[in-house]
Structure 1
Amino acid sequence: MSSDKFPAIGSQLKNCPVIVTLGVCPNFSDYPEWKKKILADSPRIYFPTSLYAEMFVAMGKEIFPSIECYRFVGDKIRQTLLFEMLGLPVLRTRVYYGPLQRQNILHDFPLPFVGKAPRFSSQGQGVFLISTQNELEKYLKHNHPAYIQEYMPACRDFRVVLAGTKVLLAYERIPDKEEFRANVTLGARISFEDIPNGVIDLARSASELCRFNYTGLDICQSEGRYYILEANMKFGTSGFRQAGLDLKAILCELVQNRMI
């Protein structure tokens, strides 16, 4: 391998001329010796996948995305704890364990409120607006622990995608009038206009503090205040397509310029 090339496991940089993509082998022994040597000799690995990320870090190698991106992927509970501990603005959120969930939730939150699947949900499928006690009972049957968040009915919803310290794209997600969730897969409309500076500033601050160097951050604005909702390490590319942008080409350029 040329000294000016780096290896990648995932396929996100497959066509980048300064990257050699090795692919994912669930068993390391299945890699041929020449690929093992590339991984052993390289100080930096791109898109190592969740299977290998921790191993490369333990070996003293740099990886992109950062190990924090892999450690917090898909876990709303741990992300919220991290945001709160770092002093980032979040909507009022509590997690409930045990048999007294229903009683404690109704004591802490007035109806309506939002219940979410605490881990590994996407595209709005694990997000529920709970307006009645019966809806709460239904939510609790399938979600343990319970992840409960205050409901902001007049909240603007934004997605900001960053790589390294660079904002790649920012847009507002405007939900269908019959839908409270602002997911594009559920019919939300994308707008690139009038993105407040406060949204960009919070995204940059959160990315730096959390060491999330490749993520799509969801941020809402309500009554002039901004709140970070979630970090998405696996995010859709509808916004890039609508903006006429090629995410893989952008990533390749960043790698070539040593910006990531």
Structure 2
Amino acid sequence: MSNIREDGLMKLITFNPFRTIGIPKVSYIKPENMFKEIEKIKEADYILFPEYWQVNTLVYGLKKKIFPNISTYQLGHNKIETTRALQAIFPKSVPYTQILGKDNINIETIEEEFNYPLVAKEIKNSMGRGVFLVEDRKQLRSYIDNNEILYIQERLPIDRDIRIVYVGNQVIGSYWRIAGEGQFHNNIAKGASYDYDNVPEEAIKLVEDIARELNINHAGFDVAVVDNRLYVLEYNVMFGNEGLRNIGVEVEKYIQEYINNDPDFTPSNPTFPRAS
């Protein structure tokens, strides 16, 4: 069952034109002009890629359908939200992690639990920024001094991870990201390379299970493999598309297909019957 109107189109508004280039007849509104263009927004059938500060108003205030959906935004807002959800539902798939307030931190306890090296992360960042390999107490103190909330994780013995991209209701692409020789980060933005061969089916199945359980519909998951065990390092709502473009995958086509076939969608103008 398609949600396309009798005239062949839905009324779509995007707040991020670069992520919707391949979707036809989408109107662009700058996020800062949201309230100036409020009547156009009210008339839209779907809102694409709002900024996080807009989400609650669009969904709860204006009762609009958004893509990505609100659970994707809220659970992917920062590493804390992502990790706590995964710890609750998929605890065996999360590296050992502690999320701590800065006040009254006991460095000796952290050292006993994790040993060096350990991984410390800023809770909101991407492309490898804000992810640190901490090798001694001096580096740990520096991280603590610069972060109000501490996100500390065990260092896994890996030199690569798998990026698995889930859009709509399916995995649309996957590949290994291999760190440069002697490098810590597996991010392409940090000089890692792609490998599209031999991505384990179990990793794809894990991502499918997580996305469906948590109602996530647009995310790039980073999965590590250690001794045949899978660990989800994090997921990013606004993931990079270069790795998918290299194999001819156009994310926009999957977004359009998903929106057009959303079974929970009700057009804002009920006078047009749904096309079959």
Q: Name the TM-score, length of structure 1 as normaliser.
A: 0.87
Q: Which residue of 2 aligns with 1:47?
A: 49
Matched, 1:201 2:185: no
SS in 2 for 1:68: helix
1:40-66 CA distance string (max 9 Å, x none): 234533323323321221133322111
Higher relative contact order (CA closer than 8 Å, sequence separation 6+): 2
Q: Give the letter aligned to residue 23 of structure 1.
A: I
Q: Give the letter aligned to residue 75 of structure 1.
A: N
SS in 2 for 1:234: coil
Distance 1:39 1:164 in 2: 22
Q: Which residue of 1 aligns with 2:72?
A: 69
1:7-22 to 2 correspondence within 5 Å? Answer: 7-10=12-15, 11=17, 12-17=19-24, 19-22=25-28
Q: Choose the corresponding residue for 1:104, options 102, 109, 118.
A: 109
Matched, 1:178 2:191: no
Distance 1:198 1:156 in 2: 17
Q: Give the letter aligned to residue 47 of structure 1.
A: F
Shift of 1:183: 0.6
1:202-254 CA distance string (max 9 Å, x none): 11111112211100011111001001111101111220232233333443354
Q: Name the TM-score, length of structure 2 as normaliser.
A: 0.83
Is the Cα contact below 8 Å between 1:9 and 1:49 reproduced in 2? no
Q: Give the letter aligned to residue 64 of structure 2.
A: K
SS in 1 for 2:216: coil
Q: Give the letter aligned to residue 102 of structure 1.
A: I
Matched, 1:30 2:36: yes
SS in 2 for 1:170: strand
Structure 2: tracts of 5 or more residues without a match = 266-276
Distance 1:100 1:254 in 2: 46
1:148-184 CA distance string (max 9 Å, x none): 1011113641111111111111011111121121011
Distance 2:139 2:262 in 1: 50
Two-structure CA RMSD over aligned residues (Å): 2.4
Report how many residues are paired: 254
Distance 2:99 2:106 in 1: 9
Is the Cα contact below 8 Å between 2:167 and 2:251 reproduced in 1? no
Residues 214 and 148 of structure 1: is their aligned pair in 2 closer, same or farther, counting only changes over 3 Å? Answer: same
SS in 1 for 2:52: helix
Matched, 1:188 2:195: no
SS in 2 for 1:135: helix
1:226-245 to 2 correspondence within 5 Å? Answer: 226-245=230-249
Q: Give the letter aligned to residue 75 of structure 2.
A: F
Shift of 1:27: 4.1
Is the Cα contact below 8 Å between 1:13 and 1:21 reproduced in 2? no
1:180-213 CA distance string (max 9 Å, x none): 2101111111111000011101111111122111
Is the Cα contact below 8 Å between 1:156 and 1:222 reproduced in 2? no
Residues 258 and 146 of structure 1: is their aligned pair in 2 closer, same or farther, counting only changes over 3 Å? Answer: closer
1:126-160 CA distance string (max 9 Å, x none): 11111211221222221222111011113641111
SS in 2 for 1:26: helix
SS in 2 for 1:217: strand
Shift of 1:38: 4.2
Q: Give the letter aligned to residue 125 of structure 1.
A: R
Distance 1:40 1:72 in 2: 26
Residues 27 and 242 of structure 1: is their aligned pair in 2 closer, same or farther, counting only changes over 3 Å? Answer: closer
Shift of 1:110: 1.5
Distance 1:209 1:139 in 2: 34
Is the Cα contact below 8 Å between 1:45 and 1:62 reproduced in 2? yes
